[in-house]
Structure 1
Amino acid sequence: MKAQILVVDDESDMEVLFRQQFRRDLSAGRFGLEFASSGSQALQLIETSAGDDIILLLSDVNMPGMNGFELLSKTKAARPELPVIIISAYGDAETRRRSLANGAEELLPKPIDFAALRADLERRLERREVRP
């Protein structure tokens, strides 16, 4: 069962950016990237049986329809153990407070610090490998 990271963002260039940043990991099969362009599409992926492979959800805040905070709340109701990191162009204190208060592990400001994200993913993958 390959670990999947689910990225939710309505900006199509985010998929290209993530695939470029993690191309070596993807080609080595270390993990996979799933992309959803809306909160409702992400929930469908989370709620399917394949959702068990998702080890991390990265979600933008500002999206049409369901925003990132609504997705966070619904994700925590469906899969409370699934870690969520909110991504936002607005790294202000109120967005951080709201993210953490609603169950996000952290707020990742845009532009994304991919070195920090890579280190976080490494820790998650190592913990996953250690489990029996």
Structure 2
Amino acid sequence: MQINIVAIDDEEDVAALYKVYFKKEVKKELITLNCFNSGESCLEYLKSRDGEDTQLILCDINMPEMDGFQVLESVKKDYPNIHVYMVSAYDNDEYLGKAKSLGASEYFTKPVDFTELKKKIFDYFNDEKNSA
């Protein structure tokens, strides 16, 4: 099963990090990775594809225009089957609580521990595949 992941972060170097850390999995066709620098561009992408081929969104919280919480609310309303992992430089209970209350599946702080992130992703999607 290939996992289609969308990453949203307004900092270009973060998108580059995702590409580097998922390079092996992309090459092995275990995942596809699409990166966006704004919530709006991600939502346009999802709308153009009716959200059907995206299983997971990795979403930064602090972004200009539309923050990650707004993206999370919109995704959960329009595409409830897409899992959203929130990513933030802030490790505080307020952000974590808000993310969970809006439907986030996971919450990671920056700098992202990519070993832990990959483990969470593959554990979840392998469990989901095995229970189907």
Q: Is the Cα–Cα contact under 8 Å of residues 2 and 32 in structure 1 kept in the other structure?
A: yes
SS in 1 for 2:86: strand
**Structure-1 residue corresponding to 2:73:** 73
Structure 2 residue 19 is matched with structure 1 residue 19? yes
Shift of 1:130: 3.6
**Structure-2 residue corresponding to 1:121:** 121
Shift of 1:49: 2.3
Matches within 5 A, 1:54-73: 54-73=54-73
What amino acid sits opposite 1:71 in the alignment? V
Which has the higher mean CA deviation after the structures are superposed, 122-131 or 28-37?
122-131
Query: What is the alpha-carbon distance in structure 2 between the residues aligned to residue 128 and residue 46 of structure 1?
Result: 22
- How many residues are aligned here? 132
Write out the 4+ residue segments of structure 1 that deviate beyond 6 Å after TM superposition: none
Q: Is the Cα–Cα contact under 8 Å of residues 91 and 107 in structure 1 kept in the other structure?
A: no
Q: Deviation per CA, 1:92-127: give whole Å up to 9, x if none.
A: 011101111111112110010111111012123324
Instruction: Give the share of equivalent positions with the same residue, in percent.
Output: 30
SS in 2 for 1:52: coil
Residues 24/44 of structure 1: CA separation in 2 closer, same or farther (3 Å cut): same
**Structure-1 residue corresponding to 2:9:** 9
Shift of 1:19: 1.2
**Structure-2 residue corresponding to 1:38:** 38
Shift of 1:129: 4.1
Shift of 1:17: 0.6
What amino acid sits opposite 1:120 in the alignment? K
Q: Give structure 1 stretches of 5+ with no counterpart.
A: none
SS in 1 for 2:52: helix
TM-score (norm 2): 0.91
Q: Deviation per CA, 1:32-57: give whole Å up to 9, x if none.
A: 10111111111112223263121111
Structure 2 residue 101 is matched with structure 1 residue 101? yes
Matches within 5 A, 1:83-98: 83-98=83-98
